[in-house]
Amino acid sequence: MATTIDPARRAALNTMRLLALLDDARAAPTERRVVLGGGAGVLADDGTAWVLLAELGDRGPDRQLGAALAFAVRHEASSLHVVAEQGAGVLARRAGWFSVPIRVSRLEGRTLAAADPDPLPEPATARPEHRSLAGLITAGGALAVEEHGVVAGEVDGLEVCRVVDDPITGEVRLEVGVGAHDRETFQLLHGDRPTVDALADVVRSVAGHRREGAAQHPLNQLAASRRLRARLLADPTPVGAAALVPVDPPLPRTNLKDEVPCVAAEPGTGTLVVCTSGVDLDVVPWAGDAIARHGADRCVIAAPARDVLDVQRRLAALLTVPTRFVGL
């Protein structure tokens, strides 16, 4: 039967594992040691920060490079050595976006192997017959957005419809609803309604819940980062842009529930805007992926002012492409 290790004991075990790796590498540790999520961090006497990354709830090691960098920055380390049993290829790719020396190793037992960077996945392109329904989305009052081959409609950043292929007939159609289950339920209950009318009703309902000052509701707790992007698309002056358009994130979204950053670009300028919500150290490595995806010359990471920490600004300054935080 599976057992759950006490978090304190798990942290102690990971610290011991990391100290053993330092001993194998003949790197003497200092007394600067910390627990990092499910892993551990130790500063060696040569100035290298060693970090062992492990699973933390549903957050894999590949989403913890920011925490490892923060440990290195706070202790003024000269370099960083990241060790992970999983996700090392993603970590190695994201490490390459920084100006500081970062080595990423894959842990196999007690053996370290240099991790090769995983390439960014090639973005999919929406089929013409899917794009042809963008006008229907606009007519219903939503903003048509295309990401990684998916055409959808958003209201204040929240997806309210999506272009799909019928699983039986293959027919292209616009489904109305917030998320896959809502779209399926809506189709069963209102399948005979004209799509524009059905979408317009949903748009009005969602817009009422997502307006400023609305009472707390599930519909205004979702997609906070995309809500921020929607408002910057309407008024980009807070990030110093003349105009913004939504563009692909480096990786496709897996669902509507999890909060993930999103991206916009200022046409013709090489400026990328990454929108995020909540205190997320890993948004900086994520922004590095976005910069690489779009070949940007500069980047602004926009977040609610309460969510911007000094260490995040220090991490952003380490990216090879000029990047700064703007608190809104």
Residue type for position 270: G
29: in domain: yes
Please report, rounded to a whole number, the percentage of residues in the chain having pLDDT higher than 90.
64
Question: Taking the CB of residue 230, how many other CB atoms lie within 10 A of it?
Answer: 22
Question: Taking the CB of residue 102, how many other CB atoms lie within 10 A of it?
Answer: 22
122: in domain: no
For 14, residues 6+ apart whose C-beta sits below 8 A from its C-beta are 35, 38, 39, 40, 52, 54
Residue 103, CB-side half-sphere exposure with 13 Å CA sphere: 11
120: in domain: no
Q: How far is the C-alpha of 69 from the C-alpha of 100, rounded, in Å? A: 10
Examine the domain organization and report whether 214 and 228 are in the same domain: no
176: in domain: yes
- Kindly tell me if the per-residue pLDDT of 2 is higher than 50: no
Examine the domain organization and report whether 57 and 142 are in the same domain: no
Token match 């489904």: residue?
Answer: 175
250: in domain: yes
Q: How far is the C-alpha of 141 from the C-alpha of 237, rounded, in Å? A: 24
Examine the domain organization and report whether 92 and 64 are in the same domain: yes
Examine the domain organization and report whether 232 and 318 are in the same domain: yes
Examine the domain organization and report whether 200 and 233 are in the same domain: no
Examine the domain organization and report whether 84 and 174 are in the same domain: no
Q: How far is the C-alpha of 300 from the C-alpha of 316, rounded, in Å? A: 9
For 37, residues 6+ apart whose C-beta sits below 8 A from its C-beta are 53, 54, 56, 59, 64, 67
Q: Please tell me the predicted confidence (pLDDT) of residue 9.
A: 78
Q: How far is the C-alpha of 271 from the C-alpha of 322, rounded, in Å? A: 10
Q: Please tell me the predicted confidence (pLDDT) of residue 190.
A: 61
102: in domain: yes
- Kindly tell me if the per-residue pLDDT of 189 is higher than 80: no
152: in domain: yes
Q: How far is the C-alpha of 179 from the C-alpha of 183, rounded, in Å? A: 6
Please report, rounded to a whole number, the percentage of residues in the chain having pLDDT higher than 70.
92
Q: How far is the C-alpha of 185 from the C-alpha of 84, rounded, in Å? A: 42
Examine the domain organization and report whether 231 and 315 are in the same domain: yes
Residue ending a domain, choose from 219, 254, 285: 219
Q: How far is CA 201 from the centre of its chain?
A: 31
E strand or H helix at 173: strand 172-176
Here the tokens at position 140 are: 């219903």
Here the tokens at position 45 are: 């006497």
Q: Residue 139 sits in which domain range?
A: 128-219
Q: How confident is the model at residue 3 (pLDDT cuts 50, 70, 90)?
A: very low
Task: Give how many domains the chain has, as a whole number.
Answer: 3
Examine the domain organization and report whether 227 and 215 are in the same domain: no
E strand or H helix at 41: strand 39-44
Q: Please tell me the predicted confidence (pLDDT) of residue 136.
A: 94
- Kindly tell me if the per-residue pLDDT of 246 is higher than 50: yes
Examine the domain organization and report whether 108 and 172 are in the same domain: no
Residue ending a domain, choose from 219, 235, 259: 219
Q: What is the mean pLDDT of residues 253-281?
A: 92
Question: Taking the CB of residue 20, how many other CB atoms lie within 10 A of it?
Answer: 11
Q: How far is the C-alpha of 210 from the C-alpha of 221, rounded, in Å? A: 9
Examine the domain organization and report whether 35 and 59 are in the same domain: yes
Spatial contact of 14 and 42, defined as CB atoms under 8 Å apart: no
Examine the domain organization and report whether 140 and 204 are in the same domain: yes
Residue ending a domain, choose from 219, 242, 273: 219
Summarised one tens digit per residue, pLDDT across range 90-130 is 999 999 999 999 999 999 888 899 999 999 988 889 999 99
2: in domain: no
Examine the domain organization and report whether 90 and 187 are in the same domain: no
User: CA 117, 271, 312: angle at the middle one, nearest 5?
Assistant: 60
